[in-house]
């Protein structure tokens, strides 16, 4: 287990906006909000990170926290302070750079996109264990 828990940044902003074909399939603004078996992909990623023993804090890079609030489970996590929204930028690299700049003591750091439905706590812990 790492000597210090990882900070997670989840990249959830829409780069294509209403033009994203995956989001369009479900009439959504963001690909990460697309549901698989009734659960939005971004929620799956956050659940995997929350269950990982190696992850301490979770920040979600997105245009506006209200987008996350459209998912009731994520609204509750925002309200409890279990996840924190940070303003996204024009591309992935700029969004990571901005998040690192506003997060107090962000390292060690693990970064994920929000449109990955395959994260499990075990996968996240294995990754963190191997890179520490």
Summarised one tens digit per residue, pLDDT across range 83-126 is: 999 999 989 999 999 999 999 999 999 999 998 878 899 999 99
CA distances from 123 to 69, 79, 127 (A): 26, 27, 6
pLDDT at 18: 60
pLDDT at 113: 95
Mean pLDDT of 76-87: 98
Q: Are 114 and 43 in contact (CB under 8 A)?
A: no
Q: Are 19 and 125 in contact (CB under 8 A)?
A: no
């Amino acid at each position: 287990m790492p000597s210090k828990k990882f900070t997670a940044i989840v990249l959830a902003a829409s780069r294509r906006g209403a033009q994203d074909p995956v989001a369009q399939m479900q009439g959504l603004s963001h690909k990460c909000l697309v549901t698989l078996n009734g659960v939005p992909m971004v929620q799956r990623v956050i659940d995997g990170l929350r269950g990982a023993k190696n992850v301490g804090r979770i920040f979600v890079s997105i245009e506006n926290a209200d987008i996350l609030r459209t998912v009731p489970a994520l609204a509750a996590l925002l309200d409890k302070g279990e996840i924190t929204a940070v303003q996204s930028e024009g591309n992935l690299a700029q969004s990571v750079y901005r998040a690192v700049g506003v997060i107090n003591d962000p390292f060690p750091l693990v970064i994920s996109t929000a449109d990955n439905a395959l994260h499990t706590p075990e996968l996240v812990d294995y990754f963190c264990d191997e890179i520490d």
